[in-house]
Chains A and B, each alone.
Chain A
Amino acid sequence: MVGPTASLSNLHRADGSASYKCPATGFAVLGAVNGPVELPARRDALKPEEATVEVFVKPGNAVPGVGEKYVEGILRDVLSTVILRREKGLPRRGVVITLAIVGGEATERGDSYLTLLPALLHAAQLALISAAIPLPMTLATTLLGVTRSGEIIRDPSPAVAKAATSLHAISFSSKGHLLMNESLGRFDFDTWELVRQQAATICRGAATPGSDGDAAMGGTDNAHVDGFVRETVEDHLHRDYNWKLESI
């Protein structure tokens, strides 16, 4: 399976930005973060002690509608938990996250955004890291589809997703908290538990104690999502600070 690709700080005028492309599902998302900025229009609506997180989702081929508003709500809830909104410089300010869907199969009116959630969340999180917004932890998201025969498929393509009996988008923090659990379709608790276990493995690597450890995991084919986020960020920092690293 071809892993996802991502690059950081692509946009010059945004404080932080990232592009994320997942070849398995075909989705590509460009994310930009501005913050901490003043939100003058709704100053009294702001909480005095913490930052307001705003998320905007722009579909590539249409004006944003109800579906986008709904997914913006989900993203705002998840991202709010991974932003330290009370850190210095953040209270009473806003963190504005804009996510543009730039590739992949177009979603139709009334479609669920479930299949897009992992790409949107990864683009948002990498953009937040690139804007140096204080975060307590990182998050990893995966999409799993359950087929009619009960098989669990990682990152199903749009066609497979359409045929699946249930779809699950699940997020884990780097500390192991379950941050998001969005499901669609018919499934029972046992199926969900299997899905959750597999998602945990995909997001955070094999959790079984006594395994070989990090060194062995890096080389394997199905590298976990946490490792992908780390590699992307480390790569970028190495390039950014080559003047410093060369002199050491």
Chain B
Amino acid sequence: MSTPLILLPGDEVPKDQLPHSKSNNPLKVGPGLRLLSQPSAKPTSSNHVLTATQAGILTTDAKRNNVSILSFSNRRYIPAMNDLVIAQVHHSSVDFFHCIVTPHTAHALLGQLSPQLKQGDLVYARVLSVGVGAGAEVEITCVHPATGKAEPGGMGPLNGGMMFDISTGMATRLLRASSSSADENEGVDGLVVLSELGKKLESIGGFELAVGRNGKVWVDCSNAGENEVKATIAIGQCLQGTDEHNLNPTDQKKLVTRTLKAMKL
């Protein structure tokens, strides 16, 4: 694919752009697209078309047989099942902690099975259900619902550190970059800022990072001793700068060097 296909709402996805998988897996339609069926002359032959509902770049994954739209990166987060989010405890009631996932939306509910938390605490959690029908609320959890044990992957309260806001598009990129193998040289999705920071900050003790789909990133450098605050701020600035200016890999490296120099790290 040499030229990316940009679709606007209402545009049809050309048939030849869809992945042709040999397996029998059905095609998965991701966010930003919907399936419409056009009335055809013959009632037996179905005539389905995929149309875009959001403006963005059409992306297809032949391996997973899915197709979706990469839309504007600063859009609002809409909770979906199994997404990892960073939530902040707003208040607690008998059965639940009421947590903030996105501003101006209903609180997500976190079951009391989870460890004791107080107001303002940050928690790394998974979206358990998004609720259907009237009055339904989003439920999140940081323990496995069946066993009651903590889930792997650092779920649970986030102590210390600092949270930074990034765009939801950047959060998705960071999550994708961390889930795939890290030994690639170019970085996943042109994202080298994390590996670059890792290399440079290894000497002072490294850092911990948690990325929430809802556009939050939590940074902790508690191993860095007296440089803890400086390193935390530097990482946050690098991530936000990369996000805001859509930096390419070379500029990301430059930004890391410049920020660390300014922080005297």
Contact = CB atoms under 8 A, between A and B. Distances in A.
Interface of A: 8-9, 12, 15-16, 34-38, 48, 84, 87-89, 92-93, 129-138, 173-175, 229-230, 233-234, 236-248
A12 B75 CA distance: 11
A45 to B, nearest CB: 14
Given A12-B74, A16-B75, A244-B189, 14 more contacts: A8-B72, A15-B75, A34-B76, A129-B54, A129-B55, A131-B76, A132-B32, A132-B56, A132-B71, A138-B8, A173-B10, A240-B72, A243-B246, A248-B2
B76 A35 contact: yes
B53 A9 contact: no
B43 interface: no
Contacts of A175: 10
A200 B78 CA distance: 36
Contacts of A174: 8-10
A236 B8 CA distance: 12
B55 A233 contact: yes
Interface string B1-32: 11010101110000000000000000000001
B190 A247 contact: yes
Given A9-B72, A134-B54, A247-B190, A37 B104 contact: yes
B248 A237 contact: no
A133 B10 CA distance: 13
A135 B191 CA distance: 31
B6 A243 contact: no
20 contacts: A8-B72, A87-B53, A129-B55, A130-B74, A131-B72, A131-B76, A132-B56, A132-B76, A135-B9, A135-B53, A136-B9, A174-B8, A229-B8, A237-B57, A240-B169, A242-B248, A243-B246, A246-B190, A247-B186, A248-B4
Interface string B22-59: 00000000001010000000000000000101111100
Nearest to A247: B190
A132 B8 contact: no
Nearest to A135: B9
A136 B10 contact: yes
Contact of B10 (A131, A138, A239, A241): A138
B9 A89 contact: no
Contacts of A16: 72, 74-75
B78 A242 contact: no
B255 interface: no
Given A16-B74, A130-B72, A175-B10, A243 B53 contact: no
A241 B9 contact: no
B70 interface: yes
Interface in B70-91: 70-76, 78-79
A135 B9 CA distance: 6
Contact of B246 (A87, A136, A230, A242): A242
A229 B75 CA distance: 19
B105 A37 contact: yes
Contacts of B191: 243
Nearest to A229: B8
B71 A233 contact: no
B146 interface: no
Contacts of B70: 241, 244
B12 to A, nearest CB: 11
B75 A241 contact: no
A84 B186 CA distance: 39
Given A37-B105, A132-B32, A241 B54 contact: no
A246 to B, nearest CB: 6
